[in-house]
Structure 1
Amino acid sequence: MAFTSQSIKFKSVSPSISISIILFFNFTLLSSSYLLVHHLNNNDHSHHHQRPILQPNNSQCSLFMGSWVHDDSYPVYQSSSCPVIDPDFNCQMYGRPDSDYLKYRWQPANCELPRFNGLEFLEKMKGKTVMFVGDSLGRNQWESLICLTWSDVPRGATQVIRGYPLSTFKFLDYDVTISYYKAQYLVDIDSVGGRRVLKLEDISENARAWTGADVLSFNTGHWWSHTGDTQGWDVMESGGSVYQDMDRMVAMETAVRTWGRWVDSNIDTTKTRVFFQSFSPTHYNPSEWTGRATTTTKNCYGETAPVSASVFSGVYPNEMKVVDAVLKDMQTPVYLLDITTLSAMRKDAHPSIYSGDTSTGQKSNPSGIPDCTHWCLPGLPDTWNQLFYTALFF
């Protein structure tokens, strides 16, 4: 079943907000020019970066650039009312004492996002499957999308099947399936002679599970830097040779190009929409958001508010340079859901020590090993899905 598109009707922003946006961009040009350069450089590849148009003056809406605005109508749902939130993401259940981090709305430059509507999502996706493929940030987003949708149809018939590597949640009344497939490197990992072999040029085993999905959203990035006990493989295989290790960004690019070739060879764009979720930033180094070394803060623990535009700084991740290069060379239109910058501003939105993971002693040593990688639910991934929803239907 083919997807159809329609014009989006955005509200014009108020004069006061317009002034704020002007100030924001003045700062961004000075201290975060790499962001504007990145977006401008990608204008030649508009099929990868579709943008809704602001009505009625037809100026461009930059969905992924803007600011965070406090909004008391948030969150859309409560963690206690959603049946699928993992303990790792359930910050309120595990004792987070503050709640303001739940009350921020993303305000893009020059326009406003349509609010997520779970009933509309189900009606438009009737009979279809949405699948998130990648690492646990994909699982974070998968659970968020279920919670957002569930909040609008709480009495609907559902079915959940958790497994490895595939988990599914079905809204039975609408025949809508939302799935998560764990493939942190996208490409296959095979067991050969007792060793885990990361096959940088083979994706056939994983891809069997993706065939037939109507919407596919991929992500990868974080696991490519893991070493030691947290590394997910023993050796790499590429070009018929086996390697104990190699430059990780070279390895990642080889794998993502393997994924790109699979998409170009197997995706019928009249039936399937393909998204790639950009790199989700971590917040372990306060100098990245303060611009200076600090002796009082060691990570995201205790952070309770987003980074303001006046102090925002950062470096465009190498992982995203890899993804950009691959998308540029692909034939199939892939929508880049570019959440990197807006997520980098949310140093306050991680589980930190407030998760169900008690094995690492987080609560006894909060400055040591909190979770500053994943995100609380409700929280930031709900905005990712609001953007995903906008890109799908408007």
Structure 2
Amino acid sequence: MPPKLPPALPFLILLSFLFFYLYSTSLLPHSSPSSATTTTTTTTTTTTTKTRTTSCNFFKGNWILDRTKSAKPLYDESCPFHRNAWNCLRNHRENMGLINSWRWVPKDCELPKIDPERFLELMRNRNIGLVGDSLNENFLVSFLCILRVADGSAKKWKRKGAWRGAYFPKFNVTVSYHRAVLLAKYEWQPKQPTMNDGQKGIYRVDVDIPAEDWATITDYYDVLIFNTGHWWGYDKFPKETPLVFYRAGQPILPPLGLFDGFKVVLESMVSYIEREIPHKTLKFWRLQSPRHFYGGDWNQNGSCLLNEPLKEHEQQWSE
């Protein structure tokens, strides 16, 4: 059993959208995507009548049960961007009313409700890209459904190389997801005579080469959101089919273990992002949320059976 990843606060998948929204408030509307400017990452709370800058740690707070009308979700089961298997309302997942009534409340500051129309206006004529694993894909689905509230003419669209996305013609905004679960390029190589006994083959990971799914998009997006994490476990890559790490086309020696390889890939991909993606592009790195499968893993009919937020001792970060 490998060591668990360091603990972090739960439900970062929800808070990621918060930061994305708050940072967008500092972007002024413009007429051309090419004129986007660099934005500093200062936490800013904005209202329609006044702007005030405060210091606030949005990770410190509590989940509260809020059954008021304002706590209701912005969208329903009719959103066309849902994947059928993920549409909990349409699939009659029990206790959805209760689940949708939980609200995150930071300890020392207010958390404004997302305003889809205002967000899209602030992002007018811009392109937003998400790169990573299913956490970013889950986020994309909810994100698109929220934004569609402000533009009912939104339609499915994706840039070449993307898995899915949407176009919002009223605001000329595009949002796409590029699947790259390790961020770095990796490929299956069948067993060779020199391989250790018991190995069926290896997954070669080139730590210094980004996955093809996002290597060519660096000039297109005005905002990019990256993540990786849950695939870096022995449940995904057991000893029979391990990850083997390469740099400059050659195996790294001595061989790296999975978590050391994870660190090297992160360092290499961050370096690539800083070097190749224009400085004017607003870049985010999402943290990881806890695992949430019960009764089996993601590919074994596992599901989330909880109706309330995980407590600290219930969080599991890796197999």
Would the TM-score normalized by the shorter structure come out above 0.5? Answer: yes
Structure 1 window deviating more from structure 2 (109-118 vs 137-146): it is 109-118
Match of 2:262 among 228, 252, 270: 252
Q: For residues 64 and 221 of structure 1, do their structure 2 counterparts lie closer, same or farther at Cα, with a shift above 3 Å needed?
A: same
CA contact (8 A) 2:73 2:100 kept: no
Partner of 1:41: none
Q: Does 1:304 align with 2:302?
A: no
Alignment match, 2:103: 105
Deviation (angstroms), 1:4: 7.6
- The letter for the 2-side match of 1:259 is M
Shift of 1:49: 7.0
Residues 98, 210 of structure 1: alpha-carbon distance in 2 compared, 3 angstrom cutoff: same
CA deviation after TM superposition for structure 1 residue 116, in Å:
0.9
Which of 195, 201, 221 aligns to 2:229? It is 221
Partner of 1:197: 204
Please state if 1:182 is matched with 2:190.
no
Indicate how the Cα distance of structure 1 residues 128 and 97 shifts in structure 2: closer, same or farther if over 3 A, else same.
Answer: same
Does the CA-based 8 Å contact 2:219-2:278 persist in structure 1?
no
**Does residue 5 in structure 1 map to residue 26 in structure 2?**
yes
What are the ranges of 5 or more consecutive residues in structure 2 without an aligned counterpart?
A: 1-23, 28-38, 192-201, 295-301
Of the three residues 277, 287, 291, the one matched with 1:282 is: 291
Query: Distance between the aligned counterparts of 2:177 and 2:51, measured in 1?
Result: 38
Q: Which deviates more, 184-193 or 84-93?
A: 184-193
Query: Would the aligned equivalents of 1:51 and 1:63 in 2 still touch at CA under 8 Å?
Result: no
* CA–CA separation in structure 2 for the residues paired with 1:284 and 1:48: 37
Aligned to 2:19: none
The residue that corresponds to 1:385 in the other structure is none
Q: How many residues align?
A: 259
Normalised TM-score (structure 2):
0.68
Which of residues 238, 241, 244 is equivalent to 2:246? 238
Match of 2:66 in 1: 71
Q: Which has the higher strand share?
A: 2
Offset of residue 227 of structure 1 = 3.7
- For 2:41 and 2:315, how far apart are their aligned partners in 1? 20
Larger helix fraction of residues: 1
Report the counterpart of residue 389 of structure 1 in structure 2.
none
Task: Give the aligned partner of residue 61 of structure 1.
Answer: 56
Instruction: Summarize the alignment of residues 146-157 of structure 1 with structure 2, pairs less than 5 Å apart.
Output: 146-154=144-152, 156-157=153-154
| Alignment check: 8 A CA contact 1:67 1:106 kept | yes
CA RMSD in angstroms, aligned pairs only: 3.7
SS of equivalent to 1:63: coil
Structure 1: state its 5+ residue gaps.
7-46, 286-298, 320-394
Report the CA distance between 1:75 and its aligned residue: 3.0
TM-score, normalised via structure 1 length:
0.56
Deviation, 1:253, is 0.8
Report the equivalent of 1:51: 43
